[in-house]
Structure 1
Amino acid sequence: MLMIPASRENVYTGSPLDRVSGKRDDADWIQAQLQDEAALFVPVWRSRNLMRGVEQGEPHAVLLSRSGAEAVRMAGGPWAFLGLWEKRPVFAVDCSETDDPLPLLPPAMGAFSDLRMVAGLLPEGEASVLAHARGLMHWRVKHRFCGVCGTGMEPRSAGNSMSCPGCAAQHFPRTDPAVIMLVVRGDHCLLGHSHRFPNVKMYSTLAGFVEPGESLEEAVRREVMEEAGIAVGLVRYHSSQPWPFPASIMLGFYGEGLTEDIVIDPDELKDARWFSRAELRDPEAHGFALPRVDSIARRLIEDWLAA
């Protein structure tokens, strides 16, 4: 199996932010950044991001100035420092407790939309910053109480960690590693159709979460065997992609298919097939669809086709 390099960066990578994590615990420095007139705020409302131009197919992120974000911050949701963008401090602020946050904002600020629908169309760097804010705010909203003793937690490190005043446990944002793999055998690759896919015609790469005590390569082999009954030999890394929907990182691989007969797990897959290169180059003519363009699954397929 050939080594197939990533043709370009995956969507949600290539962040323009300098996270300056060493400054997060400097309360005076963080306060100065909050008061900086150049500060930018990334609002998040119920896991949606503020954007303009979505309906026109030319989306771009809307970041608020300090004065523009004041009303949103006063709504009482969590906030966190994300980093510096060209030396300008950038914060995420959640306004999910407000039924309609748009009246709190200056006029004509756009609308809150699902980032996954338009991420591949955003200007360079914006998808990464919006995804960063979305993932961190999801964690803050969903993890308000200590998992050890149940006490309400307090933010630390400018909102990037939480501390329990009851038992002193420290909590940090969770990122769950998941392997996603294109299994290749000769001139064909293995794709599956999940019960969960909203597109009834879509076939995509297989994927699954890494289990405790398991290497990434072992996870690739186990998931493919469990879902499709295919034995996998050599496993090669391709690239990774943050996937804060809500809290994962996708680790992309190619796997060498050692067997051909497919035996699907009906709880995981509705169907799985071997597809030829010719079929993948013209999926519509063959009655199926490929995964969305912002996904690492699509990148794995496209880079294999181009190899």
Structure 2
Amino acid sequence: MEWSDLPLSRSAIDRAGVRRTEPGLLDRLVDDPQARVVLVRRGLVATVPGPVADQVMLAVLPPAKVVPVVGPAAEWLLLGVADDGTAYLGLHVPEPEAHADLEGIPDEEPFAVVAPHLRWSPLREIGTDLSPQDVGLATTAVALAAWHASHPRCPRCGSATVVEESGWVRRCTQDGSLHYPRTDPAVIMAVTDVDDRLLLGHAATWSPGRFSTLAGYVEPGEPLEQAVRREVREEVGVLVGDVEYVSSQPWPFPASLMLGFRGRALTTEVTVDGVEVTQARWFTRRELDDAVRAAEVVLPSRTSIARALIEDWFGGPLTGPVEGPGWSEGR
């Protein structure tokens, strides 16, 4: 497979980093009829039906349609600029109760009037449908909105923070300290043994039959290769030797970067930790194919790097049930 084709890594938008400090930039773009806005609410992005049945596209609205709903105090985010010069803004949509005083807009859905075809979609489900430009816009909008929602106050003194640099910095109003969006690196690994069997695990929080590659967050001061070895040993008791980097993919749920690896196991005895992982087993290609076709094993969605790692080892697509909307995995 082409690792550059990972669903959420296909970004084709200029993030316009050099423009973020332009004085008054966001005010000008909000007044620009050519600009477009991407909406995020509770980690979901606004979408509209696509030209093909059961397909969706990212909803991009002119600012003039958005301002009456969110008001003049909205915190706008510069997501990037397209090749044709169109500037794209992100906006975290407040909860409906914040708009109860707006005439003609139902309390249950503030955008029901201005955008009646709007729906809210999780990136896990629609990532493979979106164009490269829309993927870049959506992943950035979701990650930035989550960071802003969770950092209204300064971690140093607790004072309020305000948005600066086009949504890419928050400044403390008391001590002047600057705070930047964070990204949490996590390793995810396709571990194989000497017989080229693949190791998959079942997390304690998943429904029966769901299996995926092992994964975990990188600890402070830890090299990525050591993180791979540590996570596998902690979760399933298997020792890993050689580790090879494969590819990465943003995973804004809320702020992860998944770093994909292959690892070669030195041992094969499995002892799950019983806390994070409750089952783990080795699969041959025939065993995994049969289990997926029989719906005994449910694999992660095609949006995830986990699915790409599994099918890269398998040598092609696997056909069978995949994760649904209730999937709680961070991979």
Structure 2-normalised TM-score? 0.86
- Structure 1 gap ranges (5+): none
Q: Is the Cα contact below 8 Å between 1:68 and 1:105 reproduced in 2?
A: no
1:277-292 aligned at under 5 Å gives the runs 277-282=285-290, 283-285=292-294, 287-292=296-301
Separation in 1 of the partners of 2:115 and 2:27?
27
Q: What letter matches 1:187 in structure 2?
A: D
- Structure 2 gap ranges (5+): 98-107, 317-331
**Residue in structure 1 matched with residue 18 of structure 2 by the alignment:** 22
Partner of 2:7, secondary structure, is coil
Q: Is the Cα contact below 8 Å between 1:279 and 1:286 reproduced in 2?
A: no
- Residues 166 and 118 of structure 1, relative CA distance in 2, 3 Å threshold: same
Separation in 1 of the partners of 2:115 and 2:142?
23
Query: Which among 294, 297, 303 is matched to residue 303 of structure 2?
Result: 294
Partner of 2:294, secondary structure, is helix
Task: State the shift of 1:142 in Å.
Answer: 1.1
**Residue in structure 1 matched with residue 41 of structure 2 by the alignment:** 45
Partner of 1:252, secondary structure, is strand
- Residues 90 and 277 of structure 1, relative CA distance in 2, 3 Å threshold: same
Separation in 2 of the partners of 1:286 and 1:150?
50
Are positions 1:263 and 2:271 aligned together?
A: yes
Partner of 1:109, secondary structure, is coil
Q: Deviations over 1:1-49 (max 9, x none)?
A: xxxx744421111222111211111123443333221100001122211
**Residue in structure 2 matched with residue 57 of structure 1 by the alignment:** 54
1:209-228 aligned at under 5 Å gives the runs 209-228=217-236
Separation in 1 of the partners of 2:295 and 2:163?
52
**Residue in structure 2 matched with residue 156 of structure 1 by the alignment:** 164
Structure 1-normalised TM-score? 0.92
1:193-232 aligned at under 5 Å gives the runs 193-197=202-206, 199-232=207-240
Task: State the shift of 1:107 in Å.
Answer: 4.2
Question: How large is the RMSD of aligned CA atoms in angstroms?
Answer: 2.0
- Residues 163 and 7 of structure 1, relative CA distance in 2, 3 Å threshold: closer
Q: Is the Cα contact below 8 Å between 2:15 and 2:80 reproduced in 1?
A: yes
Are positions 1:112 and 2:120 aligned together?
A: yes
Q: Is the Cα contact below 8 Å between 2:236 and 2:272 reproduced in 1?
A: yes
Separation in 2 of the partners of 1:202 and 1:166?
48
Are positions 1:79 and 2:76 aligned together?
A: yes
Q: What letter matches 1:25 in structure 2?
A: T
Separation in 1 of the partners of 2:113 and 2:136?
23
Q: What letter matches 2:56 in structure 1?
A: P
Q: Is the Cα contact below 8 Å between 2:182 and 2:255 reproduced in 1?
A: yes
Q: Is the Cα contact below 8 Å between 2:31 and 2:64 reproduced in 1?
A: no
Query: Which among 174, 178, 182 is matched to residue 174 of structure 1?
Result: 182
Separation in 2 of the partners of 1:41 and 1:286?
41
Separation in 1 of the partners of 2:25 and 2:73?
22
Aligned residue pairs total 302
Separation in 2 of the partners of 1:80 and 1:136?
8
Separation in 2 of the partners of 1:48 and 1:134?
7
Q: What letter matches 1:250 in structure 2?
A: M
